[in-house]
Amino acid sequence: MVGDRRVAGAGAVKRRRGAVRVEKKTKSLSSRRWLERQLNDPYVQAAREEGYRSRAAYKLIELDARFGLLRRGAKVVDLGAAPGGWSQIAAQRVKASRPGGGKVVAVDVNPIDALEGVTFLQADALDLATIAPIQAALGQARADLVLSDMAAPATGHAATDHLRVMALCEAALDIGEALLTPGGAFVAKVLKGGTERLLLERLKRAFRTVKHAKPPSSRVDSAETYVVALGYRGTGEAPDAPG
Ligand SMILES: C[S@@+](CC[C@H](N)C(=O)[O-])C[C@H]1O[C@@H](n2cnc3c(N)ncnc32)[C@H](O)[C@@H]1O
């Protein structure tokens, strides 16, 4: 069974009515629940079988099916990329490893293992100085798509978590507005209740269409959802030279 090896030594695993249960031994209740959820999650199992680095890969697959985001040859910036599931999907779909294919620039504060067709930058998206190296990695070309699956560790305090996610979303939009080509698209993780009024107004000014979407693989008990903005109005100017 997928995952059995990880559990070895941490508590026994039992199957009851098709579902995997982790027996009480050394694990705390919350880590047993997390482990059971992982072991019983079809997306976790599918990700393992299909070689994706995260179950999150399916969220991008589903968003792409609905909004047609990832075209062959597209230049993509993936913010909050670790461990790399979204970058894998993006690199496959824009054909980043093929001649004439697209480009994927992935950014995270944490490192990732190298991925074919992906340029990785270990950097903080909240820092505006991160824009210049992304631009350089894009070869000074504009991006067709800026993705942000960035998330800060949950504090359990809803208002604090909301503020943190909004700050990450705003930083992603700063990067999007600096780098997107006219007609480009922007996707960012937000929390239920959607984007804050000011951010939503900013998105509506900058893009022709703004929608919220919760992909089926996003856990129902998770407050996350995504804002998808299409048709960047942009300036049409060449990006500024990195400072
Ligand atoms: C949910 S994970 C992303 C999963 C990824 N989309 C995948 O498919 O594998 C969220 C990521 O956001 C990153 N992150 C959080 N704050 C960040 C920041 N300020 N700059 C860059 N990355 C950040 C975290 O390090 C974490 O790896």
Domain edges within the chain: 4-40, 57-232
pLDDT of res. 29: 73
pLDDT of residue 212: 95
Distance from the first to the final alpha carbon of the chain: 52
- Whether 116 and 97 have beta carbons less than 8 Å apart is answered as yes
Q: Residue 110 has what pLDDT?
A: 98
Residues having CB within 6 Å of any atom of ligand 1: 53-54, 56-57, 79-86, 107-110, 124-126, 149-152, 168
Indicate the residue type of 217: S
Over the chain (243 residues), the average pLDDT of each successive run of 10 is 32 54 68 74 93 97 98 98 98 96 98 97 97 97 98 87 92 98 97 82 97 95 93 71 45
Q: What angle do CA 225, 172, 54 make, to 5 degrees?
A: 55
Structure-token pair, residue 175: 């990067």
Tell me, yes or no, if the pTM score tops 0.85.
yes
pLDDT at site 28: 78
**pLDDT value at residue 241:** 47
- Cα–Cα dist 35/95, whole Å: 35
Neighbours of 8 (CB within 10 A): 9
**Residue from 69, 150, 163 whose mutation best tests the ligand 1 pocket (most atoms within 8 A of CB):** 150
- pLDDT, residue 36, reads 75
HSE-CB for 72 with a 13 A CA cutoff: 5
Which three-class secondary structure string do you get for the chain?
CCCHHHHCCCCCEEEECCEEEECCCCCCHHHHHHHHHHHHCHHHHHHHHHCCCCCCHHHHHHHHHHHCCCCCCCEEEEECCCCCHHHHHHHHHCCCCCCCCCEEEEEECCCCCCCCCEEEEECCCCCHHHHHHHHHHCCCCCEEEEEECCCCCCCCCHHHHHHHHHHHHHHHHHHHHHHEEEEEEEEEEEECCCCCHHHHHHHHHHEEEEEEECCCCCCCCCCEEEEEEEEECCCCCCCCCCC
Ligand 1 atom index nearest CA of 53: 9
CA distance 85 to 179: 22
Compute, in degrees rounded to 10, the torsion defined by CA atoms 121, 127, 128, 134: 10
* Topology (CATH level 3) of domain 57-232: Rossmann fold (3.40.50)
Q: What is the pLDDT of residue 172?
A: 98
In the chain, what is the greatest distance between 2 CA atoms, to the nearest angstrom?
61
Residues designated catalytic: 189
